[in-house]
Chain A
Amino acid sequence: MLSFILRRIFQSVLVLLVVGLVAFAMFRFVGDPIDTMLGQERTLEDIDRLREQLGLNKPFFIQYWDFLVRAVQGDLGISYRQGRPVAEIIAERLPATLELALVSGALALFFGIVLGIFTAIRRDGITANLVMSISLIGVSLPTFLIGVLLIYGFGVGIDIRIPFTDMTFNTGGMPTFGRGDTGEIFGWTTGFATWDGIQSIILPAITLGLYQMTLIMRLVRAEMLEVLRADYIRFARARGLGDRAINFRHALKNTMVPVITVTGLQLGSIIAFAIITETVFQWPGVGLLFINAIQFVDIPVMAAYLMLISVMFVAINLIVDLLYVFIDPRLRVS
């Protein structure tokens, strides 16, 4: 077990180093930060001096090496755009992204499993078929569009006339952007501390989680259908066990292994791909920070973000591998 973990950690570090190298090789194609950093009235001398100062005239692998040397000492550099330490900026922005990812992950997992079981058990029911059809929206509409539709539907609002009266009802009222008021709980800046903050997270969480929910729902449904056809379920029925025991104690448990794999990996991609949702909702997380960094060619921020995301993916993979061992006793024996 220990050697397994050590081997995985060694592999992870290797992956990280390669990601960093590729990232630094790509930065040149993103553009040149000098022009965005200096004003209109810069002289050629200013350009050369700043390039020298930032070390941008060195080959990319040397820049990468400098970055690594400083990073292992805990110094991620200074943002070109904000002129502040990158580590501090990321620490400020990370809670927003993690909160959004966890809430949308929880929503996706809960509704995905519940609806998946429902559509599997009532395979031919009208409601189940309706849910399956509507869920196509989740996989087919781009996140950007879902976000904008939600903002217009529930933020700006649409006036709906109540039948037989002259009164109208406005569907809006939800915050249209941002994280709302935040408070501190045990030193963690969170939106859950205020009602405004809780309201603010709803629309972005739905936007971000819809695709994952659909995915989990379809996966649970397919797995359930597979398991329900298995021999041991037939024997269980023959033994006269109740529906509840069969569906939940036996069938559901056996569908969980692939669901956990997918959910784990999806949590990583929820964090990584929160970029679009964060941009649409002006959600102040690391994704929005990354988009800003690309536009400005803020190399220290881009490098730190990419490293952070790869650390996260590698860590999640490791945890998922360990969870397998925990859930499936057969793996423990070998």
Chain B
Amino acid sequence: MNRLMTASLLALATALPAQAETFRWAATTDPQTMDPHAVSSAPVLGFLNNVYEGLVRRGRDMSIEGALAESWEPLPDGAGWRFNLREGVTFHGGEAFTAEDVLFSYQRASSEDSDVASWFSPVSDVVLVDDFTVDILTSSPQPIFPDSIANWMMMDSGWAAENGAERPARDAENYATRNVNGTGAFMLQSRQPDLETVLVPFDGWWGEVEHNVTEAVFTPIQNSATAVAALLAGDIDLIDPVPVQDAARVNDADGVYVLDGIEARVIMLGFAHDHETLLNGDPNIFADVRVRQAVSHAVNVPAILQAIMGGVAEEASQLVSPAMRGYSEALSERPAYDPDLARSLIAEAGAEGANFTLSCPNDRYLNDEAVCQAIVAMLAQVGLNATLDAMPVSNYWPQLREDNFDMYLLGWSPGTFDAEHPIRFLVHTNGERLGTWNFGGYSNPRIDELLPLIQSEIDDSARQAMLDEAAQIIQDDAVYNTMYVQPLLWGVRDGIELTQRPDNFFILRWVTVGAEN
């Protein structure tokens, strides 16, 4: 009896280290909801990608791969797409995943209260061919439709109906706000909003397990100094982000390292194209393409990257970064820093000594206000007197929408990871559904003509030719002064291996917790 107990105790002791791999991570914002269709923001969709799954998902290199669909092919004549579903998949609650759930998730995600309904604007109908085949019909050919639904997550229809969560709720709480029933590799064990969310592996997951995490604890930590301290003290295994100014210090510290990469977000300057006058009543200098081009030549992007971004960001020559689909190779060079050229362009346009306002958020992008201050100084060197107006982002968007700006800072991360996305929202003539972020009111009939063609072109090289043409027009007209792609900086404890993706989604199933050394 005694010997038996000793033996089992020994077995327990040796088994323990391999067993308990608790992984703790922290980010600035808490995912506001656990409902995959209620809020379309990176913290929410990124977090929920660990517990819910879509028909397709993005791999480590952002490429599209099958998740709940094993394969998919376009229907003849561009009528839509057929998805062949994976069989034998179960939800965390044990329910089987079938085509019914796809139809339900479509109805839920495209309903009025959904925040992701825009993904389905080209969809005309969803047809169930059999239990494991679904046709998604579109009103026009949609070559990149599978790419655009990588974050459309599947919810069990029976579970939702049972708990009264058939529709996402915006002004009331609903069962899906705090409870999860997905098919993902992790299940929600407990959730205290704003405080702590605990995930555990789902034993019945269909995929091949690559991680060794037995419990994952997420905590939001807003203050970056606190997050860095928690990482250094060993209370947290991963923090996102490490402030640029602390990156070197964290990298030098024992037991932790900084993982850096490039995000999908391009930071640019926008202009008041269609304003009659500037805010101060002077003639609008930005209606003149030469002034906009001068700004591109006047901003010393390498200096900004070195001095403010810690040398980890990359220059951006167009509205999307090189990792995105449809990036224009021909335009990989940003207009060079050339203050003399900028001065002569300004002289030609007769805009020397013009006074105007540069609007800028101070809590939205990495070091946004510091970047704007640098830009004001650089513009002063070529004879443009910009006054900085920096404000919190909650005031910033209303100001832009009300046309209270001359020149402004904007960051754009294409939700579809495709070059068509910024053209649709930033460049197309401002309207109800298209050009909704084109605050400056730029309008070019050729762009408006190209956009629907790009959206429905099936042939890849013909599509790329049109994207190249659009990118060329945008650069020639200096519609935006694209400056750099924002860096990603994660602080990680030694011994932890993981994958950092440009969309800044933290994917738990790629984490391995190793020995600490």
Q: Are A39 and B39 in contact (CB under 8 A)?
A: yes
Whether a CB of chain A sits under 8 angstroms from the CB of B194 is: yes
Contact of B235 among A41, A42, A177, A284 (CB under 8 A): A177
- Give the residues in chain B near A178, CB-CB below 8 Å: 195, 219
Report A226-279 residues with CB < 8 Å from chain B CB: 279
Whether a CB of chain A sits under 8 angstroms from the CB of B76 is: no
CA distance A144 to B219 in the complex (A): 21
| Chain A interface extent, by class | 35 or more
Whether a CB of chain A sits under 8 angstroms from the CB of B6 is: no
CA distance A49 to B114 in the complex (A): 12
Q: In angstroms, how far is the closest chain A Cβ from the Cβ of B360? A: 15
Contact of B173 among A35, A41, A83, A288 (CB under 8 A): A83
- What does the 1/0 interface line of B372-395 toward A look like (CB < 8 Å)? 000000000000000000001111
- Give the residues in chain A near B33, CB-CB below 8 Å: 82-83
Contact of B223 among A280, A284, A296 (CB under 8 A): A280
Q: B38: nearest residue on chain A (CB-CB)?
A: A83
Q: In angstroms, how far is the closest chain A Cβ from the Cβ of B76? A: 29
- Give the residues in chain A near B223, CB-CB below 8 Å: 279-280, 282
Q: In angstroms, how far is the closest chain A Cβ from the Cβ of B402? A: 10
Contact of A39 among B35, B41, B173, B193 (CB under 8 A): B41
Q: Are B194 and A40 in contact (CB under 8 A)?
A: no
Whether a CB of chain A sits under 8 angstroms from the CB of B432 is: yes
Report A277-334 residues with CB < 8 Å from chain B CB: 279-282, 284, 288-289, 291-292, 295-297
Whether a CB of chain A sits under 8 angstroms from the CB of B225 is: yes
Supposing A32-B398, A83-B169, A289-B194 touch, asked if A156 and B232 sit within 8 A by C-beta, the answer is: yes
Q: In angstroms, how far is the closest chain B Cβ from the Cβ of A91? A: 13
Whether a CB of chain A sits under 8 angstroms from the CB of B230 is: yes
Supposing A280-B226, A282-B221, A282-B222 touch, asked if A40 and B394 sit within 8 A by C-beta, the answer is: no
Q: Are B398 and A35 in contact (CB under 8 A)?
A: yes
- Give the residues in chain A near B35, CB-CB below 8 Å: 83
Contact of B229 among A33, A37, A176, A291 (CB under 8 A): A176
CA distance A279 to B41 in the complex (A): 23
Q: In angstroms, how far is the closest chain A Cβ from the Cβ of B265? A: 11
- Give the residues in chain B near A289, CB-CB below 8 Å: 194
- Give the residues in chain B near A33, CB-CB below 8 Å: 394
CA distance A78 to B374 in the complex (A): 41
- Give the residues in chain B near A49, CB-CB below 8 Å: 112
- Give the residues in chain A near B437, CB-CB below 8 Å: 40
Whether a CB of chain B sits under 8 angstroms from the CB of A50 is: yes
Q: Are A54 and B171 in contact (CB under 8 A)?
A: yes
Whether a CB of chain B sits under 8 angstroms from the CB of A138 is: no
Contact of A78 among B173, B220, B233, B436 (CB under 8 A): B173
Q: In angstroms, how far is the closest chain A Cβ from the Cβ of B312? A: 24
Q: In angstroms, how far is the closest chain A Cβ from the Cβ of B80? A: 20
CA distance A156 to B176 in the complex (A): 38
Report B189-237 residues with CB < 8 Å from chain A CB: 192-195, 219-223, 225-227, 229-230, 232-233, 235
Q: B230: nearest residue on chain A (CB-CB)?
A: A176
Supposing A39-B41, A83-B177, A176-B235 touch, asked if A45 and B432 sit within 8 A by C-beta, the answer is: yes
Supposing A40-B40, A43-B433, A82-B32 touch, asked if A35 and B394 sit within 8 A by C-beta, the answer is: yes
- What does the 1/0 interface line of A1-37 toward B look like (CB < 8 Å)? 0000000000000000000000000000111110111
Q: In angstroms, how far is the closest chain B Cβ from the Cβ of A109? A: 28
Q: A148: nearest residue on chain B (CB-CB)?
A: B225
Supposing A32-B398, A296-B394 touch, asked if A78 and B229 sit within 8 A by C-beta, the answer is: no
Whether a CB of chain B sits under 8 angstroms from the CB of A157 is: yes
Count of B interface residues, CB-CB < 8 Å: 51
Supposing A41-B118, A78-B171, A78-B173 touch, asked if A176 and B425 sit within 8 A by C-beta, the answer is: no
Q: B232: nearest residue on chain A (CB-CB)?
A: A156
Query: Taking each of A78, A155, A157, A282, which has the highest tally of chain B beta carbons within 10 Å of its own beta carbon?
Result: A282
CA distance A61 to B343 in the complex (A): 52
Q: Are A292 and B194 in contact (CB under 8 A)?
A: yes
Whether a CB of chain A sits under 8 angstroms from the CB of B476 is: no
Q: Are A281 and B177 in contact (CB under 8 A)?
A: no
Q: Are A38 and B398 in contact (CB under 8 A)?
A: no
Whether a CB of chain A sits under 8 angstroms from the CB of B446 is: no
CA distance A42 to B395 in the complex (A): 18
Q: Are A291 and B233 in contact (CB under 8 A)?
A: no
Q: In angstroms, how far is the closest chain B Cβ from the Cβ of A93? A: 8
Q: Are B233 and A297 in contact (CB under 8 A)?
A: no
Q: In angstroms, how far is the closest chain B Cβ from the Cβ of A88? A: 8
Q: Are A152 and B229 in contact (CB under 8 A)?
A: yes
Whether a CB of chain B sits under 8 angstroms from the CB of A95 is: no
- Give the residues in chain B near A81, CB-CB below 8 Å: 32
- Give the residues in chain B near A176, CB-CB below 8 Å: 226, 229-230, 233, 235
Whether a CB of chain B sits under 8 angstroms from the CB of A133 is: no
Whether a CB of chain B sits under 8 angstroms from the CB of A210 is: no
Supposing A177-B235, A296-B394 touch, asked if A43 and B118 sit within 8 A by C-beta, the answer is: yes
Whether a CB of chain B sits under 8 angstroms from the CB of A172 is: yes
- What does the 1/0 interface line of B143-183 toward A look like (CB < 8 Å)? 00000000000000000000000000111111001100000
CA distance A264 to B511 in the complex (A): 51
CA distance A32 to B398 in the complex (A): 7
Q: Are B225 and A30 in contact (CB under 8 A)?
A: no
The 7 lowest CB-CB distance pairs between A and B, nearest first, are A31-B394, A39-B40, A41-B118, A35-B397, A32-B398, A176-B230, A31-B395
Extra 5 A-B pairs, beta carbons < 8 Å, given A81-B32, A288-B222: A32-B394, A39-B415, A41-B119, A53-B170, A157-B233
- Listed A/B pairs (27) with beta-carbon separation below 8 Å: A31-B393, A31-B398, A32-B394, A32-B395, A32-B397, A32-B398, A38-B115, A39-B115, A40-B40, A41-B415, A43-B118, A45-B433, A82-B32, A82-B33, A83-B32, A83-B35, A83-B38, A83-B169, A83-B171, A151-B229, A155-B235, A156-B229, A280-B226, A281-B226, A288-B194, A292-B194, A296-B394
